[in-house]
Amino acid sequence: MSGVVYLVGAGPGDPGLLTVRAQQLLATCDAIAADALANPEIIEAARADNPGVEVHDVGKRGGSGESARQEAINDLLVQLGRDGKRVVRLKGGDPLVFGRGSEEALALAEAGVQFEIVPGVTAGVAAAAYAGIPVTHRGVATSVTFVTGHEDPAKAETQTDWAALARAGGTIVLYMGVKTLPRIAAALVAGGMSPDTPAAAVQWGTYPRQRTVVGTVTTLADAVEREGLGAPVITVIGTVVGLRDEISWYDRKPLFGKRVVVTRASAQAGSLRAALASLGAEVLELPALRVVPLDPEALREALDRIAEYDWVVFTSQNAVAFLWQSLRVAGRDARWLAGRKIACVGPATSDALLARGLDADVVPGRFVAEGVLEALDERADVKGCRVLYVAAEGARDVLPEGLADRGCTVDVVPVYRTASDGAGSGALRDALSSGRVDAVTFASASAVRGFVEAVGAELARRAPAVSIGPTTSDALRAAGITPASEASESTIDALADATARLVGAPDSQWSTA
Ligand code: SAH
């Protein structure tokens, strides 16, 4: 059986701009052959969704010449197709816009290998849009030309008629043209374009590190050089650039241009990362903590005797997940807890319970162990009860001691521990020591420990710390770090908000003031 090669556009960078079709194929294919310009985050996500997928990095530059490299890629695609694989050939932007996707399609057609083409969002449109520049606008630009800057106008063999483009009067979107920009600008002006025509260069469009430089067709090249913008850059030339003053939006987000560190355990970092990214931040992730399961025997025994308990208490989603695992391994489900009352520490834990068919009886307003005790004090059915506390190793004693004070018998059953994960901390140490980190977020006391272990006590104090709540703030102080800000309530959104208030631009579009 012959395979299929999908020539897929990955979009310009922001993983949210991937098409639904691309995402489905990435999640189900046998192999991915990725370009240098496809965002590595997209490939990481595909590996997570599709474990075992074979990834060929064909984006490496240098070495053999460009055409030899393209030929090797064509051969690889043909080979994978002949091996019967479903292959995603992932290319930055749209595969057929200066992407050589059509050359690959020709090679596949010639070899008789089945292929499909999945268009993507091209950088020339998307980088402009993220810079607040529409490529057409009624009454301003009625046409747009995508043109490659690879063609040096100074060379005799150039195929592009720059004078004709200058006369056409529409928007010009230049790909791959940072180095040739001075000569292209000169050719356009020589061809009759007004030297005052607005122009903008957008580097790393749609990524949080996007940078935009604005000038005129005559001044832009110098400005780009002065600001040190290098590939990948999209250059837009035309009156539409002027609209950016009013409709720029991405670079007005409160955390745009800010680097914020996330220190949560990697399994849970996603929601905080997403909250910070939606505020415009560039997120550096320290997988500070790994969740390590402990011997499940103690929990299994406790579950065998579940009828002896009146209450089951959870202070983390992880504990819920491990309890559920133990139930399932024993062929049980939520019904096994029937008749028990359940208390948990906050909304994330209660959501994890609800997802498994268990609605917590107690979720405190204050998401710390003390809050659980306060909430339990409001009830008449706690005093003298038997309590199963499914916990992390080394959890604070506040809860078991407080329950004991209320005459309860408490069995603390640790089901997991958190361990620091050194991987990736080198890059973070560099960023901290060179002052390129604007804030570090802490969503748990154990994240504080993990961060200090990973980067060392001295570097851990370099950037402002934002804490999710009082317990985490105490842990920071204990580590010699003064919290610069604390979330108004212990939720991921409040933590992201506190970060924006601390380091965000005061005049941002969504000023949080
Ligand atoms: N097929 C791609 C273009 C590949 S050519 C597409 O449709 O977008 C490579 C050029 O694309 C780069 O030199 C740059 O000009 C542009 N480019 C790609 N991604 C970009 C990005 N995120 N920001 C700015 N320019 C980008």
Cα separation of 104 and 263, whole Å? 42
User: Residue 513: inside a domain, yes or no?
Assistant: no
Mapping DSSP to helix (H, G, I), strand (E, B) and coil, where does residue 447 land? helix
Share of the chain above pLDDT 70, in %: 94
Does the pLDDT of residue 330 top 70, yes or no? yes
Which of 58-67, 203-212, 354-363, 474-483 is least confident? 58-67
Domain check: are 206 and 246 in the same one?
yes
Does the pLDDT of residue 511 top 50, yes or no? no
Q: Is 497 a catalytic residue?
A: no
Q: 38: Cβ below 6 Å to ligand 1?
A: no
Looking up residue 133, the CATH number of its domain turns out to be 3.30.950.10
Mapping DSSP to helix (H, G, I), strand (E, B) and coil, where does residue 15 land? helix
Confidence grade of residue 63 (pLDDT, cut at 50, 70, 90): low
Q: Bigger pLDDT: 511 or 258?
A: 258
Report CA(261)–ligand 1 centroid distance (Å). Answer: 28
Does the pLDDT of residue 427 top 90, yes or no? no
Does the pLDDT of residue 102 top 70, yes or no? yes
Q: 90: Cβ below 6 Å to ligand 1?
A: no
Contacts of 280 (CB under 8 A, 6+ apart): 208, 250, 251, 253, 254, 255, 256, 257, 258, 508
Domain check: are 297 and 408 in the same one?
yes
Number of structural domains found in the chain: 4
User: Residue 497: inside a domain, yes or no?
Assistant: yes
Confidence grade of residue 263 (pLDDT, cut at 50, 70, 90): confident
Q: Which residue has the tokens 């595969």?
A: 95
User: Residue 509: inside a domain, yes or no?
Assistant: no
User: Residue 328: inside a domain, yes or no?
Assistant: yes
Q: 98: Cβ below 6 Å to ligand 1?
A: yes
pLDDT attached to residue 418: 75
Domain check: are 114 and 132 in the same one?
no
What value does the mean pLDDT of the chain take? Answer: 91
Share of the chain above pLDDT 90, in %: 73
Alpha-carbon distance values, 443 to 13, 268, 321, 421 (Å) = 28, 10, 19, 16
Cα separation of 58 and 36, whole Å? 7
Domain check: are 14 and 115 in the same one?
yes
Q: Whose CA is nearest to atom 11 of ligand 1?
A: 175
The type of residue at 492 is: I
Alpha-carbon distance values, 40 to 14, 32, 168 (Å) = 11, 12, 38
Give the number of other Cβ atoms within 10 Å of residue 429's Cβ. Answer: 15
Region 235-253: mean pLDDT is: 96
Q: 416: Cβ below 6 Å to ligand 1?
A: no
pLDDT attached to residue 213: 97
Alpha-carbon distance values, 373 to 338, 351, 379 (Å) = 23, 20, 10
Domain check: are 212 and 326 in the same one?
no
Domain check: are 440 and 370 in the same one?
no
Instruction: Note the Cα 414 to chain centre separation in Å.
Output: 32
Q: Which alpha helices (H) appear in 248-316, and where do they start and end?
A: 269-278, 297-304
pLDDT attached to residue 510: 46
pLDDT attached to residue 82: 96
Q: Which atom of ligand 1 is nearest to the CA of 175?
A: 15
pLDDT attached to residue 453: 76
Sheet of 439-442: strand order equals 282-285, 259-262, 439-442, 465-467, 483-486
Q: 233: Cβ below 6 Å to ligand 1?
A: yes
Looking up residue 115, the CATH number of its domain turns out to be 3.40.1010.10
Domain check: are 236 and 271 in the same one?
no
Region 455-468: mean pLDDT is: 91
Region 102-129: mean pLDDT is: 97
User: Residue 241: inside a domain, yes or no?
Assistant: yes
Q: Is 85 a catalytic residue?
A: no
Q: What is the pLDDT of residues 290-301, one digit of tens each?
A: 678 899 999 999
Region 486-513: mean pLDDT is: 80
Last residue of a domain, one of 396, 414, 432: 414
pLDDT attached to residue 61: 61
User: Residue 511: inside a domain, yes or no?
Assistant: no
Q: Which atom of ligand 1 is nearest to the CA of 210?
A: 23
Is-contact 291 266, C-beta < 8 A?
A: no
User: Residue 354: inside a domain, yes or no?
Assistant: yes
Which range marks the domain in which residue 155 is found? 125-252
Domain check: are 65 and 131 in the same one?
no
Is-contact 362 369, C-beta < 8 A?
A: no
pLDDT attached to residue 241: 98
| Most confidently modeled range among 198-212, 289-303, 408-422, 454-468 | 198-212
Last residue of a domain, one of 368, 395, 414: 414
pLDDT attached to residue 55: 93
User: Residue 100: inside a domain, yes or no?
Assistant: yes
Q: Which residue has the tokens 């985490």?
A: 472
pLDDT attached to residue 434: 92
Planar angle of CA 23, 27, 33, nearest 5 degrees: 85
Domain check: are 195 and 299 in the same one?
no
Q: Which atom of ligand 1 is nearest to the CA of 205?
A: 23
Q: What is the pLDDT of residues 342-392, one digit of tens each?
A: 999 888 889 999 999 999 999 988 777 888 999 999 999 998 999 999 998
Cα separation of 213 and 236, whole Å? 11
Domain check: are 144 and 184 in the same one?
yes
Q: What is the pLDDT of residues 462-498, one digit of tens each?
A: 999 999 999 999 999 998 999 999 999 989 999 999 9
Q: 173: Cβ below 6 Å to ligand 1?
A: no
Q: Pairing relation of β-strands 386-392 and 409-420?
A: parallel
Report CA(121)–ligand 1 centroid distance (Å). Answer: 10
Q: Output the pTM of the full model.
A: 0.74
Confidence grade of residue 507 (pLDDT, cut at 50, 70, 90): low
Cα separation of 317 and 350, whole Å? 8
Beta strands in 195-262 (DSSP E): 198-203, 211-216, 233-237, 259-262
Task: For residue 272, count CB atoms less than 10 angstroms from its CB and return exposed for 0-12, middle for 13-18, buried for 19 or more.
Answer: buried
Domain check: are 83 and 169 in the same one?
no
Last residue of a domain, one of 66, 91, 121: 121
Report CA(92)–ligand 1 centroid distance (Å). Answer: 7
The type of residue at 217 is: V
Q: 175: Cβ below 6 Å to ligand 1?
A: yes
Cα separation of 285 and 261, whole Å? 6
Domain check: are 137 and 224 in the same one?
yes
Q: Bigger pLDDT: 49 or 309?
A: 309
Q: Is 176 a catalytic residue?
A: yes
Looking up residue 497, the CATH number of its domain turns out to be 3.40.50.10090
